[in-house]
Structure 1
Amino acid sequence: MRTSWRSASVLGVVAALVCPAPTVAVSQPHRESAARPFGADCSVYVEGSRATAYCHNPYIDTDRVQLHVECERWWDVDADSKPVELGPTGRATLSERCWKEIRTVWVSHLRRPS
């Protein structure tokens, strides 16, 4: 069987991709903390004027979680829970309320390297 120039160049490219040239190992700065997954899993429930968040941290780095509640009425004071530091496998329940209706609820996260 005769090989054409086009087939030969395709075979050369495939061979170069399959069998790359040897590489030299170069030491890189340690960047594991930036690549690690982070953030506690939080479920937020609103019942009437009370908001509750149940958080669990499945990761290695400590997560500082805080519940924030924004009230619907202009005269109602918005509330932020006390921050809680969740270590690996840590769990926490955060709760806050408004006098009347709740507009929005969210949980903030802050990484604390362990």
Structure 2
Amino acid sequence: MRMPWRSATVLGVPGALLALGTLVWPAAPTAAVSEPYRPEPRPFGAACSVYVEGSRATAHCHNPYLDTDRVQLHVECARWWDVDADSAPVNIGPTGRATLTERCWKEIGSVWVSHLRR
């Protein structure tokens, strides 16, 4: 005797799903070691433009970020006998601006601005 079409579908589908489930079912999950949460560092640092004119150096700084930035202008003179100069450090708060100047007696060798998070 032949089985009606509907009975075959009802009996065959669960069996196929069970067979398919054992073939496709993923293995038991393994314990993964998670990394500790480290927040993204906030942007920091005032944008400074440095200008050298003769023996005088000037830095115009603007801080667009939330953290206070302590900036300082450093001037290294070209002559060995000329004393190098460092400006007084200035704290620039959010949206603050500052102008720093220093000079040598003769030529300037190099100029840079240092930043410190406050």
Match of 2:112 among 96, 103, 106: 106
Secondary structure of the structure 1 residue equivalent to 2:43: coil
**Structure 1: gaps of 5 or more residues:** 1-25
> What amino acid does structure 2 have at the position aligned with 1:111?
R
Q: In structure 2, what is the equivalent of residue 18 of structure 1?
A: none
1:10-21 correspondence to structure 2 within 5 Å: none
- TM-score, normalised with respect to structure 2: 0.68
Match of 1:36 among 42, 61, 76: 42
Match of 1:66 among 54, 66, 72: 72
**Structure 2: gaps of 5 or more residues:** 1-33
**1:72-93: CA deviations, max 9, x gaps?**
0000000000000000001000
- TM-score, normalised with respect to structure 1: 0.70
Secondary structure of the structure 1 residue equivalent to 2:99: strand
Q: Does 1:92 align with 2:98?
A: yes
**1:33-77: CA deviations, max 9, x gaps?**
xx1100000000000000000000000000000000000000000
Secondary structure of the structure 2 residue equivalent to 1:44: strand
> What amino acid does structure 1 have at the position aligned with 2:108?
I
Identity %: 81
1:69-84 correspondence to structure 2 within 5 Å: 69-84=75-90
Q: Which has the larger radius of gyration?
A: 2
Q: In structure 1, what is the equivalent of residue 51 of structure 2?
A: 45
Aligned length: 85
Shift of 1:31: 3.5
Q: Does 1:57 align with 2:63?
A: yes
Structure-2 separation of matches of 1:97 and 1:36: 34
In angstroms, what is the RMSD of aligned CA positions?
Answer: 1.8
